[in-house]
A and B are shown apart, each in its own frame.
Chain A
Amino acid sequence: MTERRPKVVFEGLSKSFPQKSGVRLSVLEDVDLTVEEGELICLLGPSGCGKSTLLNIAGGFEAPTSGSVSIDGVKVDAPHPRRVFVFQEFGIFPWASVWDNVVLGIRALPGEQQTEIAQGVIDLVGLTGFERTYPMALSGGMKQRVEVARALAVSPDVIYMDEPFGALDSLTRLTMRSELIRIWEERRPTILFVTHDVDEAVQLAERVVVFSARPGRIAGEVPIDLPHPRDLGSPEYGSVKNRLYELLGVSHLI
């Protein structure tokens, strides 16, 4: 692999929430992680281990209790229009057409340029012909494509994806994963992809970072240095999966 620049750097990041009882709930403890530019990294961990919290902090929506996140060497303290979130629940606006959703992030550009970019990303995610449709009339998978298109329109340099395909049926989920890989290979944004699904991590990531149960700490990481498209039946993946399950502390043999 060629030498890449560090892009998103977590340093000693901890987060705890106040509780009614007075005792603070520690959600993340001492997370150190460097994500490289253009990397597709998966953050894998059991539900409730703080993955969304980590991503929200990186996105500038929440502040860490201690430690910091910096991007390109600058500390993150607010959301940034070119570092875009793809939400776990649907974040597109149901009151706006596909087109109006997609142009949200590029609304300040001149009309011609807007049209060109929006049409480009709509075609890229396979929604050509649905520009005037409202989200209500779209399937779950199509809504998630709109959200991806809206993110891509701003030519993001970082994309945060929080279990973006979790609400989709298993077939649509597979399609969306290969679409994501296709788009990532074409545009090479840095992607932080959160999931609790081992197969998903193995199919997508260049590197998987495994978190322990709450409070989330990094339990280990597994590089997956294999080209796409990947054959999940091959023996290499078997051993990667075993390693991930081991780090998660569960047995996948039932």
Chain B
Amino acid sequence: MKYIDVVKGKWNKNIYYVENCIGQGSVGYVYKVVNKRGEKFALKSSEDLISLTKEYKMLNKFSYISAIPKAYELDDGYIQGKNIHFIIMEYIEGISLKKYLLNNISIKKTLSIILIITEIFQQIYDSGYIYWDIKLENILVDRINMSIRVIDFGGVSKIGQSIKEYTPTYNIHCWRDKPYYDDKSLIFSINMILISLLYNKEFNPLTNSIQDIIYKIKTSDFNDGIKKLLINGLIGDYNIEKYKYTVKKIIQKNMFSKSKYCSNWIDALYWGSIGMFIFFIIFTVKMYIFK
């Protein structure tokens, strides 16, 4: 294996071999690195000390939530020709929901993912913080542990403090004039994730309005329960509990598509074959009578 760089921590003196750059975010680069014992980590680098220090603090604060990457250390170093600060954290072998947009996942699976991330963001919210930078890229499907993971804690703020990192598609303030700085805005973001996954597309507030999306939903062939969920989520009608309750109900009742009798192709086949059978019987009976 060839390494593109070696980083030695200024304070803790740990050495990491840099394999490759795995991502570029708003505050810096993320690299895949290994230590001397060959253990893999993600190294998140930044010149922005305030933001990175905060992220490290948040990762530690919420380390009891299993969806969050474990953070190991915060140090300074020299990488790719620059003096930077860095966090060493658990490397997550996963693909982001952004890539999932390309696959067609079933509505049921999509709703289950939504339920799981709602639980994660609720835990953070209940301890007095809001995860503002909700977006597809920050939600990873961990292929090894088959679980949902959330990364990028630089945009987490105490409730009542300002929004520092966000993505317009998922932020209610970019869509509406009337601001919400509470769990209604959180549900708005989560509901927007659901909309992106269902439509395989991310809507941009600079070129679309809430009304456009509501119209799209109304004229779609989703079942009424889902339509109502999506629209009320956009309007800002749900708090966390009510949203979770509604999603659960849809999953339990299996209400995914429009028709009551043909909810999927198996049903169609079933009713179809019964119809054929009856037709066949009538046909043979007729043959008997008129023989």
- Decide whether A and B assemble into one complex: no
Chain A residues with CB under 8 Å of chain B are none
Chain B residues with CB under 8 Å of chain A are none
